[in-house]
Chains A and B, each alone.
Chain A
Amino acid sequence: MSNKTKHWEKTRGLLFVTLAIWFVFSIGIFFFGTEMEASSFRPFGYPLSYYMTCQGSLLAFVILNFWFAGRQEKIDEEFGFTEREDS
């Protein structure tokens, strides 16, 4: 298998992991709106459903995006596809 193919396989793997996490926070949990609202876990005193939609999921996306960028850079490095600076 060529270097490029292996690089792309790992890249795709990272994509699936990232999108799975994204799915949970953007779509998955909101199938359980009323259940979240009834939950006794109330971050900062907000109902869980309210908290996730106004802050929790958003924060998860921010962290996920930085994490993803870091991981992808590692993959590029591993296969020697990192760009030379100011090329």
Chain B
Amino acid sequence: MIKGKFIDNLPKVYGIYTGGFIGFIILMAIAEQMGMSAKAIGISFVVFTIAIYAIIGWLSRTLQMDAYYVAGRQVPTVFNGMATAADWMSGASFVAMAGGIYFKGYGYMALLVGWTGGYILVSTLLAPYLRKFGCYTVPDFVGTRYGGNAARLSAVLVLTVASFTYVTAQINATGTIASVALDIPFKVAVYVGLASILLCSMLGGMRAVTWTQVAQYIVLIIAYLLPVFWISSKMGAGFFPHLMLGDEVARIAELESQFGFVKNSAADLATVPKGLAGITKAHSSVNGTNWGFISLAICMMAGTASLPHVMMRYFTTPSVKSARRSVAWSLLFIFILYSTAPMLATLSKLSLIDPTLSTGIIGKSIAEVQAIDWYQNWNQANLMFVSDFNGNGTLELNEFFMGGKAVVLATPEIAGLPYVISGLVAAGGMAAAMSTADGLVLAIANALSHDLYYKIIDPKAEAAKRLIVARVLLVLIGFAGATIAAMGIQGILGSVIWAFDFAMSGLFFPLVLGVWWKRANGPGAVAGMLLGLAAGTWYLIWVRTGGAGFLGITQLTFGIVGASVSLVSMVVVSLATKAPDQATQDMIDELRIPSGKTILGKQH
């Protein structure tokens, strides 16, 4: 039995949990053999895992201020790494990224470089110093470092814009998965997803989110890796895909040159359902400009270092040293999934397009493809489509269309794995999207309740009242996010990339210079945040409405414009106004050494 404090027993608790989850997978596999329907398996997976998160959320309920905001600052290094990895890897990473790589090839893998390289910036420039600061939220740091409500308010504004863009995408992802797995309409599924997200975070704040995120990481990593290793072995590509797919990658390049990328006419494309795409770009070859690749990577890296839901995970560690170590662990846990995504894209693409494989569909007759079970299922889910544009009766590469999400969700079925794996993948996708949505909703609600309500509107509010306000805001923001997600305006991956650009535009330089440049002052920071955000937003709107853009900066990399404006205006305005006072200078000196008390008190 488990004795002593919960924190001391973490390895045991999560060990038992992992064993239990694997046991559940085996149980489902046996049930499938005994004739349990695919639909029932899908429902069991999603319901079972959500029930566990809800139990953890309920057990972690709290009325303590520092437990609610920063999990009591006692999350051990490695577990915080896992929680951060789950917080970080969203529905976009899990469901959409392999799809992006599948369609766009090399050019899109800039996301992999950007979303991992950013952690170097997090650990060298920011995380340890913000931990030393002892803040509850990111605007808390900005408000205290630069002084004054204007700076605090601007930070809340940027944080809300970036996180809200991000969270609608995550609720959209939970809705997509819930609607496929539970077989309910998307508009209803979005609210089912929202309810599960709130179950995890409302009662226990950061503490509850931390312990559910660790549980979600375990589910999502098993769900991502297992099918990839399985498919790879089954195809005879090798038991360790990461090191063994050289021949498969070469084979795809060979098939690409054999089939050729034939462009569809606009009239033909108009008949393809919205959101589906064909393969138009080379898989492994350099298929865009170097700058296109690099600019996307830069935006994702700077965005990583500016997104508040990641940064606030490092407020929960016991010390500055453990915050730094924890960043390294986070990145390792993230690397495990990210290095697998391109392998999944490779296996998925090869199994579909290689005519010598039994699963390959290119080169088969259209009628034959339309009779395949999985094709019918995913066609119905509006994620697959074939059309005989040239009328020769045979399926060509440019006559097959697929939704980005299908790469992860449908590949196990295409490769002929048992349905239990598809159920597992649904649970994993749900875990990934929920964990990120939890972190984001909490980041917004905490910023509004702590920085806007408590620090600016009602500084005399008592602890109990503050926590009630925090929870009410949490629910309201969740609902607002779900309502917008239900409208389904943007795709998942696109809006996630935007969120990084927004965060980078407004927060990157004000945060970094707050630690590394003593001369940076309040007016400079306000100018940097507001003008940066405004410039980025303007550029996005301009390009979206048909503007030509400049320097090859697209709607996915507008953060470069925003951040440049932010840097210049921050430096110019800072130098034109008075240097920060002595007290602030001393505070920065104190911030830069790990030992000693945090700048802000334990309860503030």
Contact = CB atoms under 8 A, between A and B. Distances in A.
Given A44-B243, A47-B285, A62-B331, A53 B294 contact: no
Contact of A37 (B247, B286, B320): B286
Given A15-B124, A31-B294, A54-B112, A72 B324 contact: yes
A62 B335 contact: yes
Contact of B318 (A4, A33, A64, A86): A86
A82 B594 contact: yes
B120 A54 contact: no
B246 interface: yes
Given A30-B294, A57-B116, 12 more contacts: A7-B592, A18-B124, A25-B117, A31-B290, A31-B294, A32-B290, A53-B112, A57-B113, A65-B120, A82-B321, A82-B594, A83-B319
A20 B71 CA distance: 35
Contacts of A41: none
B342 A54 contact: yes
Nearest to A25: B117
Contact of B290 (A30, A44, A50, A61): A30
Contacts of B246: 42, 44-46
- Interface size class for chain B? 35 or more
B119 interface: yes
A39 to B, nearest CB: 12
B214 to A, nearest CB: 20
Nearest to B246: A45
B125 to A, nearest CB: 8
16 contacts: A7-B592, A15-B125, A26-B113, A33-B290, A45-B247, A46-B245, A50-B106, A53-B293, A54-B112, A54-B343, A58-B113, A62-B332, A62-B335, A79-B593, A82-B595, A84-B595
Interface in A21-78: 22, 25-27, 30-34, 37, 42, 44-47, 49-50, 53-55, 57-59, 61-62, 64-66, 68-69, 72-73, 76
A72 B121 CA distance: 14
B592 A8 contact: yes
Interface of A: 4, 7-8, 11, 15, 18-19, 22, 25-27, 30-34, 37, 42, 44-47, 49-50, 53-55, 57-59, 61-62, 64-66, 68-69, 72-73, 76, 79-87
Nearest to B247: A45
Contacts of A83: 319-321, 594-595
Contacts of B595: 76, 80-84
B531 to A, nearest CB: 25
Nearest to A21: B120
A36 B353 CA distance: 27
B110 interface: yes
B116 A58 contact: yes
A50 B341 CA distance: 13
Interface string B308-351: 00000000001111001101100110010011011100000000
Contacts of A87: 319
B431 interface: no
B594 A33 contact: no
A49 B318 contact: no
B120 A22 contact: yes
B285 A37 contact: yes
A4 B593 contact: yes
B242 interface: yes
Contacts of B123: 65, 68-69
Given A22-B120, A26-B113, A55 B331 contact: no
Contacts of A19: 120, 124
Contact of A27 (B242, B284, B297): B297
B124 A58 contact: no
Contact of B331 (A25, A61, A76): A61
B120 A30 contact: no
A28 to B, nearest CB: 9
A76 B325 CA distance: 14
B469 to A, nearest CB: 31
B298 interface: yes
Nearest to B253: A47
Contacts of B589: 4
B109 A76 contact: no
Contacts of B247: 45
B301 A53 contact: no
Contacts of B600: none
Contacts of B116: 57-58, 61-62
A85 B319 contact: yes
A64 B120 contact: yes
Contacts of A79: 593
B328 A69 contact: yes
B106 A49 contact: yes
Contacts of A15: 124-125
A26 B20 CA distance: 39
A47 B284 contact: yes
Contact of A65 (B321, B327, B343): B327
Contacts of B297: 26-27, 30
Contacts of A47: 249, 284-285
A61 B51 CA distance: 36
Given A30-B113, A37-B285, A76 B592 contact: no
Nearest to A64: B120
B244 interface: yes
Kindly name the residue among A19, A37, A69, A85 whose own CB sees the greatest number of chain B CB atoms within 10 A.
A69
5 shortest A-B CB distances, which residue pairs?
A: A45-B246, A26-B117, A54-B342, A65-B328, A33-B286
